[in-house]
Structure 1
Amino acid sequence: MMRLSAGCAARLGASWDGRGTNFALFSANATKVELCLFDSQGRRELDRITLPERTEDVWHGYLHDVTPGQLYGYRVHGPYEPELGHRFNAHKLLLDPYAKRLAGRLVWSDAHFAYRAGSPREDLSFDRRDNARGVPKAVVVDETATAGRQEPRPQIPWEDTIIYEAHVKGLTEMHPDVPPNLRGSFGALASPAMIAHFKRLGVTTIELLPIHGLIDDRHLIERKLSNYWGYNTLAFFAPEERYSPHDNALDAFRTTVARLHDAGIEVLLDVVYNHTAEGNHLGPTLSFRGIDNASYYWLHQENRRYYDDFTGCGNSLNVSHPRVLQMVMDSLRYWVETCHVDGFRFDLATTLARGPSGYDRNGSFFAAVRQDPVLAHVKLIAEPWDLGLGGYQVGGFPSQWSEWNDRYRSLLRRYWGGEGSLIGEISRRMTGSSDLYHRDGRKPRASINYVTVHDGFTLADLYSYNHKYNLANGEDNRDGSNNNDSWNCGHEGPTTNAAVQALRLQLRKNQLACLMLAQGVPLLLAGDEVGNSQNGNNNAYCQDNEVGWVGWEGLGTPHDDLIDFIARLTELRRRFPQLRANRWLDGRRSDGSYGVLWLTPNAEEMNEHDWAYPDGRFLAYVLGPTDPGFAALFIVLNAAAQPIGFTLPKLPEYHVWRQLLDTTDERAVIAPFASGASSTAPPRSVLVFAGSVA
């Protein structure tokens, strides 16, 4: 018999205080909540205890004899009235939304549905089967060891940040220098080989695809696939156990973060608070749906049986509800305070800021984040769109936020693919996208610039395929974007043709060069530095295999190993502050100084006629020094398929221009050019020069 008392409602979840454990669960519409305790294997229910108290819609109780390691779940009683938004079914064991650690994995069966699968009444029917054996259980954890503990952080300024987006398993599963027993795990990220790789590249910040507790969709399991990327969250406080199969996942993740911090590398988490793994009205009842469906989710106003799906994943979390907002905020603070992460990238972030009238940049979520003392010091990045009405909000987030800039991605792909008449917009994208972000005190760091990310072609595939090849996903090649702005350079897929290989390499270098030369924050996709390919699959979300993993075969090969090239670019970015500007550029000032000068091929300042040059593919500009003692930079972008002659800038303060980069020429030393000298930009090239007095 357990000693039971009322406990308190102040802290949600299971909280062990050294003597016993307080359990607290929010549900505004439940009629009774039962706490279920399980054996260490999670197979046998040992006790079922009705939580004795309800305070402001929080059901709570304190068990004096429960210690860390105890497995538990909930059964929540209430009406089963889908038309009114209620889907309570006490026959279904439910995961605590505040679970800090998970035990076991979901074993799919029809018992996980609150309705009778196959019934002609669909979700209006009711299922009485117990699903407890096949669901993950929450585990009581000891948080006292981490409470109030502070650890040093790299605290890298936004303007110095270079992000490297990676999947925990995919990055390390096939790396030849990572110990086999570590590959695919949290620990592998902080192995000596990976830390050396990050430092060699010059990246400062690792952005991890979702690591929150997740489940694999049933339709993927039936096709012998999985939700590899992890955008299918069930537990917002617990690290996914599959990334630490032999150790405590929470301890393993915290250790990894600490070791990366020791190496001066930040850790960002890609987080998915816009929807959950429970899917649409025909999905399983695993947690939120059975706890309080009408509170946790956006429901259709005319028929609350159905969900407002802004995400394309079947449901949308209603973060405008105070208790749902509290859960999201508590989760974010937990990952910062307990695991010491340095920030977050928010998947489909527009959904988080939706209210009854749509997207609201003054809404409760933004207000809560803005005033939070913990989150005030971490990096916040939005994927600034969702699939709902008015969901595309690039440039529409508050000043505290940075945003994925897909306008940069699309334009740079089109430009280096040979499309003309883009130089006006290219000028804006290369200088921080002021047309999108220059308001409300925002700075160039608001723009997260990228050409490739997990979603879409890799950089190697971008210049190897005109079409996607997603048949392995089992959806008849219907999934994944059809608008990739890719170019196969004259041959679809792999080739041994030396000319095609050289062109592909050149275009990859140009994209990487622009990424590091552009103002804003660059984001590099893991594997692009070694020519990683997904065989033309532009939606490898379910490919937990060699398609989705980074292939390291390109190490040391002339057509694929771009590690040293990227290292040169990141070093160049560190040397010249104007590439890391924290304020917006202006043109020629009244005193003759300047932030940026846009030049014609003849080194004359461009006028309106020059910007409108038909089918133009050549852009040249000077970035002025930000401080005395630093040199100006002259940058030339030639996307034309033929060489274009140009004149070096004729500026009185610089007598010569020393070439720092030519993406078509790897020579380390190039003779300096006199001011006003003539030169030639090779076809499809990026050139960089630094001004010098001698």
Structure 2
Amino acid sequence: MVRQRSTVRAGSSFPLGAHWDGAGVNFAIFSANATKVELCLFDSAGRRELERVALPEYTHEIWHGYLPDIRPGQLYGYRVHGPYAPEAGHRFNPNKLLLDPYALAFHGEIKWHDAVFGYRVGHPRQDLTLDRRDSAFVMPKCVVVDPAVTWGPDIRPNVPWSETIIYEAHVKGMTARYEALQEHMRGTFAGLSDERVIERLVKLGVTSIELLPIQSFFNDRYLVERGLTNYWGYNTAGFFAPAARYISPGGTIHEFKFMVRKLHEAGLEVILDVVYNHTAEGNELGPTLSFRGIDNASYYMLGDDPRFYFDTTGCGNTVNLRNQRVLQMVMDSLRYWVQECHVDGFRFDLASALGRDRASFDHDAVFFEAVRQDPTLSMVKLIAEPWDMGPEGYQLGNYPPGWAEWNDQFRDTARSFWKGDEGVASALSSKLLGSAELFEKRGRRPWASVNFVAAHDGFTLRDLVSYNEKHNEANGEDNNDGHSANFSWNCGVEGETDDANVLDLRDRLRRSLLATVFLSQGTPMLLMGDERGRSQQGNNNSYCQDNETTWLDWSEPSDRDHAFMEFVREIIAIRRARPLLRQEKYVHDQPADGNSLAEPEWLRPDGKRLEISDWEDPQTRSMALLLSRQGERLCVLLNAHFDEVTFELPPTEHGKWLVLADTSNGEASVAGVRGIDGDALPVSGRSLILLEDRK
């Protein structure tokens, strides 16, 4: 029997978690329905439980105690007593070692065993049974951490939204194949801190790196049993602790902070993809790792039958932000990453789940109101994935002021247009101007639309023009996972090919797709590796592929991919150099004076204005957009027909139209590529040309 030996005092109910004050450690944990909470202390290897200390005080639903003899580095966990009554929503089981929701670091990984489940796995009564085995031998342990670190002169880039260019990346995938790095640094925060890696981002021209989840997560049992890995990380187990897999051997959690500082020194923002909508514990048949055993009825939304979860995430559970202490945990977590780790913003996975009152979504839900009034969080970038899997889950355009949103309608419309689908031109026109029909409300600005054609979830850009069908066989789900509606086109050959004509067409299409992203009003986002032709061999759901399928290839690119990379750099540079392409306000909402845009003009290839009948014609696949401001004029010619179309050019005001970018051949330059003699210009099929009226 494990006994208590340490001295314990009452301590304080604040702050939550394990707080080192320089003399000892205060432990505090929320549970409204527990009857007793025991703090378990372990040896330095995490194998032997040394003590169990009953927390002596219970204040405002917080269990707490102060141990003067504990120091940073101590491993610990909790055992929480209370009723095991799933039919009433309670799943307490003191035989299960539980992770502290506020832990700043974890030691070890889960070793999957039936003992981590609160019920007897395989029993006919399933979760209505009680498993009495101790789970400590297969559970990771929490670590008491001294969070203090010397930052030095860290200066946040504070990139204005209108100038923001996001690069979506994965910590491991970014450097796992970078052989110039020492092996122990590859795939870690330390690897991403390397000056050569950062220089690559700076040269590309992006302003902000958005990292797939780095908060602690573990490999799911069903993946481990199939020899796969939770690569993306969308199954959080700890909202304060960085994932240990991204810390180099022998390193500490401070590697993350050092990475942030190095990126800031280069002028790059750090945005974290965060998952507060569900946890790694799954549904009623999932493991008991933390929240379920601490206070299941408080941490999760329960169904009409409280034995089951009200699941709007498709992951088995939904975090209950209507509970004030659970809301506090999420807010404390967000503030921790901003204040202690200096991150610059967040992208919220399945954000509709955060604004739910069970079946309904409220854009003024308590979570959004809490963030809006918070003096720290209201000043960082906030991006919503504006949907979840529940009723009324799709909420694109319905988030509060101050939020940006992933615009999947931009993605699908741009893909359909360049694929050559009928009846898409009108929808694309609104997307090029910032999707005002979705976002122009409550004083929101064009940057609220995060524009992209490829993201981690789906085809890469190269695969988008190389595959008609998904090829997810390596995931072990008989190719039944992942989206089937991809709006992709393989250009006549499925997958890889040596056919030069097919490759030329694919290059033209990927240039046109990315040019559409960077020449549109809104916030552009680029997927890691799309700038150099990264392929996942047609896998559009690579969540479990921790291998070369998803890792960035740092070897010398082919001539085609090198040329494409140069095109991407130039088209980004053009956007950054031309204010007309990144307006603070919607272009139709500004008077035409010396500092504002005139009403944008949409023209047919014959130079006449597009009429309603043209927009309604499903065969309309070619159009020109003219943007004008006193002293500046840009014209975008778009031709999604397969064949060449000749455009009659608008009259110039300054003498000559100059080509800045041409996706048919990959030419692009901030200074301009060539001048146009005459009043007409042929535009190749599936191509876009950007013109500037210049003296």
TM-score band, normalised by shorter chain: over 0.9
Distance apart, 1:144 and its partner CA:
4.1
Range moving further from structure 2, 247-256 or 166-175: 247-256
Task: After superposition, give the CA deviation of every residue in 1:332-389 in whole Å (9 maximum; x if it has no partner).
Answer: 0000011100000000000011114521111100010000011121100000000000
- Change in CA separation of 1:554 and 1:474 when aligned onto 2, cut-off 3 Å: farther
The 3-state SS of whatever aligns with 1:574 is helix
C-alpha contact (below 8 Å) 2:168/2:526 kept by paired residues: yes
Q: Which amino acid is the alignment partner of residue 232 of structure 1? A: N
Q: Measure, in 2, the Cα distance between the counterparts of 1:247 and 1:7.
A: 33
The 3-state SS of whatever aligns with 2:682 is strand
Range moving further from structure 2, 607-616 or 230-239: 607-616
- Change in CA separation of 1:146 and 1:360 when aligned onto 2, cut-off 3 Å: farther
Q: Measure, in 1, the Cα distance between the counterparts of 2:589 and 2:676.
A: 24
Distance apart, 1:655 and its partner CA:
2.5
C-alpha contact (below 8 Å) 1:79/1:87 kept by paired residues: yes
Q: Measure, in 2, the Cα distance between the counterparts of 1:562 and 1:356.
A: 47
- Change in CA separation of 1:472 and 1:590 when aligned onto 2, cut-off 3 Å: closer
Alignment TM-score, normalising by the size of structure 2? 0.96
C-alpha contact (below 8 Å) 1:587/1:596 kept by paired residues: no
Q: Measure, in 2, the Cα distance between the counterparts of 1:448 and 1:472.
A: 31
> What residue is the counterpart of 2:622 in the other structure?
618
From 172, 195, 200, the equivalent of 1:197 is 200
> What residue is the counterpart of 2:639 in the other structure?
638
Query: Which consecutive residues of structure 2, in runs of 5 or more, have no partner in the other structure?
Result: none
The 3-state SS of whatever aligns with 2:690 is strand
C-alpha contact (below 8 Å) 2:432/2:521 kept by paired residues: yes
Task: After superposition, give the CA deviation of every residue in 1:108-138 in whole Å (9 maximum; x if it has no partner).
Answer: 1000011111111100011100010111111
- Change in CA separation of 1:178 and 1:647 when aligned onto 2, cut-off 3 Å: farther
Task: After superposition, give the CA deviation of every residue in 1:456-502 in whole Å (9 maximum; x if it has no partner).
Answer: 11111111111111111111111111111111110111111111111
Q: Measure, in 2, the Cα distance between the counterparts of 1:670 and 1:312.
A: 50
Alignment TM-score, normalising by the size of structure 1? 0.96
Q: Which amino acid is the alignment partner of residue 89 of structure 1? A: N
Distance apart, 1:597 and its partner CA:
1.2
From 368, 372, 375, the equivalent of 1:373 is 375
Distance apart, 1:10 and its partner CA:
1.8
The 3-state SS of whatever aligns with 2:322 is coil
Q: Measure, in 1, the Cα distance between the counterparts of 2:250 and 2:319.
A: 31
> What residue is the counterpart of 2:60 in the other structure?
56
Distance apart, 1:657 and its partner CA:
0.9
Alignment of 1:122 with 2:126, yes or no, is yes
> What residue is the counterpart of 2:220 in the other structure?
217
- Change in CA separation of 1:145 and 1:253 when aligned onto 2, cut-off 3 Å: closer
Q: Which amino acid is the alignment partner of residue 270 of structure 2? A: V
- Change in CA separation of 1:591 and 1:30 when aligned onto 2, cut-off 3 Å: closer
From 21, 24, 46, the equivalent of 2:25 is 21
C-alpha contact (below 8 Å) 1:603/1:650 kept by paired residues: no
Task: After superposition, give the CA deviation of every residue in 1:423-465 in whole Å (9 maximum; x if it has no partner).
Answer: 1111100110001000000000000001000001111111111
Q: Which amino acid is the alignment partner of residue 546 of structure 2? A: D
Range moving further from structure 2, 273-282 or 590-599: 590-599
> What residue is the counterpart of 1:163 in the other structure?
166
Q: Measure, in 2, the Cα distance between the counterparts of 1:188 and 1:447.
A: 31
> What residue is the counterpart of 1:172 in the other structure?
175
Q: Measure, in 1, the Cα distance between the counterparts of 2:491 and 2:689.
A: 22
The 3-state SS of whatever aligns with 1:464 is coil
- Change in CA separation of 1:434 and 1:16 when aligned onto 2, cut-off 3 Å: same
C-alpha contact (below 8 Å) 1:16/1:22 kept by paired residues: yes
Distance apart, 1:89 and its partner CA:
0.1
- Change in CA separation of 1:238 and 1:589 when aligned onto 2, cut-off 3 Å: closer
- Change in CA separation of 1:181 and 1:350 when aligned onto 2, cut-off 3 Å: same
Distance apart, 1:683 and its partner CA:
1.0
C-alpha contact (below 8 Å) 2:470/2:538 kept by paired residues: yes
Alignment of 1:515 with 2:517, yes or no, is yes
C-alpha contact (below 8 Å) 1:502/1:559 kept by paired residues: no
> What residue is the counterpart of 1:528 in the other structure?
530
Range moving further from structure 2, 664-673 or 641-650: 664-673
From 81, 84, 109, the equivalent of 1:80 is 84
- Change in CA separation of 1:337 and 1:587 when aligned onto 2, cut-off 3 Å: closer
Alignment of 1:337 with 2:339, yes or no, is yes
From 184, 189, 194, the equivalent of 1:186 is 189
Distance apart, 1:145 and its partner CA:
4.2
Q: Measure, in 2, the Cα distance between the counterparts of 1:525 and 1:340.
A: 23
> What residue is the counterpart of 2:661 in the other structure?
661
Identity %: 52
- Change in CA separation of 1:591 and 1:203 when aligned onto 2, cut-off 3 Å: closer
Task: After superposition, give the CA deviation of every residue in 1:407-432 in whole Å (9 maximum; x if it has no partner).
Answer: 00000111111112211111100110
Q: Measure, in 2, the Cα distance between the counterparts of 1:514 and 1:334.
A: 37
C-alpha contact (below 8 Å) 2:154/2:265 kept by paired residues: no
The 3-state SS of whatever aligns with 1:117 is coil
C-alpha contact (below 8 Å) 1:501/1:559 kept by paired residues: no
Distance apart, 1:176 and its partner CA:
4.0
Q: Which amino acid is the alignment partner of residue 49 of structure 1? A: V
C-alpha contact (below 8 Å) 1:529/1:563 kept by paired residues: yes
Range moving further from structure 2, 239-248 or 157-166: 239-248
Alignment of 1:594 with 2:595, yes or no, is no
> What residue is the counterpart of 2:424 in the other structure?
422
Distance apart, 1:678 and its partner CA:
1.2
The 3-state SS of whatever aligns with 2:576 is helix
Q: Measure, in 2, the Cα distance between the counterparts of 1:349 and 1:604.
A: 43
> What residue is the counterpart of 2:328 in the other structure?
326
Query: Which consecutive residues of structure 1, in runs of 5 or more, have no partner in the other structure?
Result: none
- Change in CA separation of 1:142 and 1:670 when aligned onto 2, cut-off 3 Å: closer
From 455, 458, 463, the equivalent of 2:457 is 455
> What residue is the counterpart of 1:432 in the other structure?
434
Q: Measure, in 1, the Cα distance between the counterparts of 2:207 and 2:287.
A: 40
Q: Measure, in 2, the Cα distance between the counterparts of 1:421 and 1:117.
A: 54
Q: Which amino acid is the alignment partner of residue 392 of structure 2? A: G
Range moving further from structure 2, 555-564 or 426-435: 555-564
> What residue is the counterpart of 2:280 in the other structure?
277
C-alpha contact (below 8 Å) 1:648/1:673 kept by paired residues: no
Alignment of 1:292-691 (within 5 A): 292-301=295-304, 303-356=305-358, 358-553=360-555, 555-559=557-561, 562-586=564-588, 594-625=598-629, 628-629=630-631, 631-651=632-652, 653-666=653-666, 670-673=673-676, 677-691=679-693
